[in-house]
Chains A and B, each alone.
Chain A
């Protein structure tokens, strides 16, 4: 965190960029605020701290942990479900939940694989898979926003439907062979880092920007905080909800394409249980299931925490059953912390 210290010392020019063209400023007594860790990572600082501690601990515990090979391996393991976790996060921020992302991952991956097997080009096949994911998301979102059905039920239904469709579509058998070049997408490197990691970084960075800097992002938090207040302030609540589920579906499809590419085969059971991992990543990363709390970096950190625990457990030869226990306990700790903080801020 040393580098953050430096930015503190850098005196952000107080008068820099006087509100250009804005309505005449007030008698500005705006004190220049000191840049803190919390400012940089905003609403999701907690998960990052846990992650850094975990990284430090693993580095000390295992000499193999902090090696290029292992980190690249870790990145590949985490990327797919990290991307899904970001989509899940958007839904959770609106106080919803998307249980269908794992099944959608499987379905869209299988669609892409089937199209490739039938000789469709790589780009159209990928686009078709992503379109399918987004369409499922729009369907979910429409039922939630316009049909006023509970998100849990809607996406639970879709979890079953999408998985069933994959199994019918593929006859429950692996779809292959796929072109070599398709496999390179997820297995290749760029500038010495795995492609999967680049995509994960890109998705997190974009999501973080959208959530913090755009009107849509602000609306997402507003809807999650209080949909009726938001509606009465002119927020297009229903459209925001549909968009959020559509993005979750789209990112699940991105995950599906990458998963398929990584194995270079369409696996009908791909992504089973990923929805719970994604929810766990969000919660560990500081998101609240009641909405309006959490951020993209937090969700990414949560995904990395879960991934690092698994990776470290392998390196240290810890029984994977124990790892499940640890991850479960971590979720409880994160939520308990969230509750405790909520109570503290409410009582103040």
Chain B
């Protein structure tokens, strides 16, 4: 702690930076994740890092923490060149990170978590009293003096765990604190408390980098903002130079309208009807329908229940009640197999965990959902299987040496195409896409958008969930905005702005646009 006190007084941006990263680049194969980025963090200042998904924010954080090696550029902490540090060297140099996903061990106590790796011990035997004393001191620094250090971490609320995590990071006396999406799992009031705590840490003289998708939080807490786009540095300016719109414009930058397919489709009969559906944790039952030829977008903040809604429709999770109909026919609840047979398809958000079968080949991955239909007496018609895979993967311009190579050898965009082909081959009536372009490069994005547009034009009902607002607004005909597990409002995509969506999606920041926007 003593190190930071030297620079402790509320400093102005013209002092020496604590961290200075100059000309840093990082490429993953052909993809340039970060390109010649320069960043300075100063004591007593909160620097916000803004950018779309895939802009290079996580890569930048990983370079700072030593989790990955940068390709070039230099990295100075307090004027000392760190070279390419390992994570422990970065930590010793004073870089502390609070991750989006907590790194605490849920089955151990708070005190054990706080001092894990440096448990006070004498000849290998722990000293419980000393452990408790030091843990209590650490907790006090983040205002958790009321918390019994012996409590099991798993029993605490996420907000408290977040604070314990911060206490743990502070235990290493960092000069720099990096917060990576810290409010993802927190409620509104918990977020407020956390932001206040971060302000306090700043005033104690820490240099802080804050990464979030929530623009409001950035304006709330940021002194300066650095904007990344497509791996490159756009600008680094005082926060006060920006307002909402100019910051979004700076993040998005390019003209994206052309990416999206034209919306000259004829809308027909309802294909998917959702009635009174209550996913787990929904504040109110959900009703909506999707018509043939229509693309319905679902927007909302992280944790607003978008994926849960899709999973509930698909039968992947049990629901408290409600009915799903496809083309007027009721679909049995809670059974994805029935849903697939009824003509539903779900392209999941987490490809690796919930979509792909990494050990299997491209062909086996693509044919999994319809393999029943191309089989007689349970025996796969392999000629037909191959021709169907050829047809759909060929149509998606998948670049691969052979359909027999493992699907894990493909890039993110191509993996997404394999999953897309899986659902196209089922001749689904309604397809639901959960973050269809997450981790997909711009070129493949445009192709995926085109496929989604074509599917709707063929008369399918399409549902698209995305946390990337321009994508929702660009693709969809109508946008349903979710909040707290249920639908908070509906907008016609044409003419709606991102602010309209955000206003519906967030509770506290609701302004006068709320009434005007809710169609």
Contact = CB atoms under 8 A, between A and B. Distances in A.
Interface in A26-79: 26-28, 30, 33
Interface in B416-434: 422
B387 A25 contact: yes
B358 interface: yes
A226 B371 contact: no
Given A22-B388, A25-B387, A232-B316, A292 B359 contact: yes
A2 interface: no
Given A218-B371, A222-B368, A225-B360, A30 B406 contact: no
Contacts of B158: none
Interface stretch (A175-183, A200-208, A233-241): A233-241
Contacts of A225: 357-360
Contact of A221 (B359, B378, B402): B359
A17 B380 contact: no
Contacts, number: 112
Contacts of A293: 359
Contact of A226 (B358, B364, B379, B402): B358
B4 interface: no
B356 interface: yes
B375 interface: yes
B359 A28 contact: no
Contact of A27 (B341, B369, B394, B409): B394
B396 to A, nearest CB: 11
B331 to A, nearest CB: 13
B356 A214 contact: no
B368 A214 contact: no
Interface in A107-134: none
Interface string B323-356: 0000000000000110111000010100001111
A26 B390 contact: yes
Nearest to B376: A215
Contacts of B316: 231-232
Interface residues of B, dominant DSSP: helix
Interface bin, chain B: 35 or more
B510 interface: no
A20, A23, A24 interface centre (most CB from chain B within 10 Å): A23
A345 B390 contact: no
Given A25-B390, A216-B378, A232-B314, A226 B356 contact: yes
A213 B387 contact: no
A228 interface: yes
A348 interface: yes
Given A26-B394, A215-B372, A346-B408, A229 B354 contact: yes
B200 interface: no
Contacts of A346: 408
Given A231-B336, A234-B369, A345-B406, 5 more contacts: A17-B383, A26-B387, A229-B357, A230-B368, A232-B354
Closest 6 CB pairs of A and B: A234-B340, A225-B357, A19-B387, A292-B359, A26-B394, A225-B359
24 contacts: A19-B386, A23-B388, A28-B387, A30-B386, A213-B380, A214-B375, A214-B378, A215-B379, A216-B378, A218-B364, A226-B356, A230-B368, A232-B336, A232-B354, A234-B337, A234-B339, A234-B368, A235-B337, A235-B368, A236-B337, A292-B357, A292-B359, A345-B408, A346-B408
